[in-house]
Amino acid sequence: MKDEMKVLVVGGGGREHALAWRIFQNPRVRRVYCAPGNAGTARCATNVPIADTDIPALLDFARTQEVDLTVVGPEEPLCNGIVDQFQAAGLRIFGPTAAAAHIEADKAFAKKLMRQQAVPTAEARIFHNYKDARTYVATRDHALVVKAAGLAKGKGAFVCDEPSEALLAVEKIMKDRIFGRAGDTVLVEERLTGPEVSMLALVCEHTIYMLESAADHKPIGEGDVGPNTGGMGSYSPTPLVDEARSRQIEREILVPIVSALGREEAPYRGVLYAGLMLTPGGPKVLEFNCRFGDPEAQAQILRLRGGLLEALEACVDGCLEDVTLEWDGRASVCVVVAASGYPDYHEKGKPISGLEAVPNADDLMVFHAGTAVEADR
C-alpha cells in the first residue's frame, strides 16, 4: 500500500464533504483535493475550481498533480464516462464505467434487467411518447408512481394517490419537459406500500461487500408529504434490516443484477445502491444508483471508524475479498437544512450564520452542500 497519497474527490455536495473528511483522516493520505468542493471541504481538502462534469479538465488535473486515486461522488460524471476516460489514461479511479452506470442512467434499462433476472420490483409499463402514456394512465383506477427514466437529481419520481395526479406527472415530464431529455421515456409503476430502506454494497465484479443499512426521507414535508427531494434526512442503521434480511437482499437482488451486468459486458466496480421497499411480500427494488447515497453517505460515513480508503482501493485493484470495515455500533442521524422553497425555486446566495457554534467532532459534523465562502462569510 502506498503512503503519502494524493486523493481527488469529485463533487461538491454533502456526500463529497463526508468522503473527503473521512479520507483525510487516513494517515496514509498526504493531500485531498475536491473538485469543485464547497465551504466545508475547504477545511479538510484543497478545493479545485473544476466542475464535476468537466471530465477533460478533471483528467488533466489528476495527471498534472499525480493523483493516486480519484473518488467520484455524483452520478452524472459516472454516467458520462469519467471512469472510462481515467482508466484509458492509466489513472486509478473509484466508480463504475459508463456501461455499468447505465443501471442508474436509464430506469427503463434497469427495469428490463430486473425482469430478465426475476428480481422483485414494482410492476411497470414503459412509454416513449406522451400520448401512449396518457392513454394508459387514464385507464387506471388506483395509485401509481410516474418516473422519468433518465437522471433527474433524485427528483424524477412522482408518487400519485389518484390517476389525475399521474396524468399531471406525465404531462410535466413528457410535455412540459421539466427534466429535459431525461423525460424522453417514462415508467408508470404500481405503487408499493411499506417502509423504504437503502442498501449499499461495494462491488468488484463478482465480489460483493455489503455495507450497513441506511434509510432516507425524500418528501419535503413533515410526515413524508409533498414533492420528492434529493433527501431531507437519513439515518443508519435501520432496525428494519437485520443480518438475515441483509443476506436475503444480497442473494435475491444484488447477486443477480451484478451477474447480469457482467454478462452484458458491463462488469461492475464501485458502490451499488439499491433503494428498496419492504413490502408484505418481501423486499422490492424501487431504484438502483451507481454511487453513494446523499444524504445516506453522511450518516453511514460518520459511523465508519476505519478502512474506507482501503476499501475503495480494493474495489479499484480487484482485491475486495480482503476488505474489513470498522463500524461504530451507535446509530447516526443526518438532518438536511435547505433553503426556503426547495426543491422548487429557492433563493441562493443567502448568508449562513451560527456554524461556528457547532463543535465538529467524531460524533457530530456539519457537512456542507452547495456552500461557498465569500468576503469572509
Which tens digit of pLDDT belongs to each residue from 118-154?
999 999 999 999 999 999 999 999 999 999 999 998 8
Q: Please name each of the domains of the chain with its CATH number.
A: 5-97+345-357 (3.40.50.20), 123-190 (3.30.1490.20), 193-333 (3.30.470.20)
Q: What is the pLDDT of residues 239-257, one digit of tens each?
A: 999 999 999 999 999 999 9
The 10s digit of each residue's pLDDT in 60-99 is 999 999 999 999 999 999 999 999 999 999 999 999 999 9
CA angle 76, 308, 21 (to 5 degrees): 70
pLDDT of residue 229: 80
Residue 11 has pLDDT above 80, yes or no: yes
The model's pLDDT over 41-57, given as tens digits with 9 standing for 90+, comes to 999 999 999 999 999 99
Q: Which pLDDT band, with edges at 50, 70 and 90, does 374 fall under?
A: confident
Q: How far is CA 76 from CA 10, 70, 237, 268, in A?
A: 11, 15, 27, 17
Contact in structure between 230 and 293 (CB atoms under 8 Å) = no
Report the amino acid identity of residue 38.
N
222, pLDDT greater than 90: no
Burial of 238 (C-beta count, 10 Å sphere; 0-12/13-18/19+): buried
Q: Which residues contact 120 (CB under 8 A, 6 or more apart)?
A: 114, 252, 253, 281, 282, 283, 284, 285
pTM of the predicted structure, to 2 decimals: 0.95
Mean pLDDT, the chain, rounded, equals 95
pLDDT of residue 231: 86
- Tally Cβ neighbours within 10 Å of residue 194: 15
Q: Per-residue pLDDT for 343 more than 90?
A: no
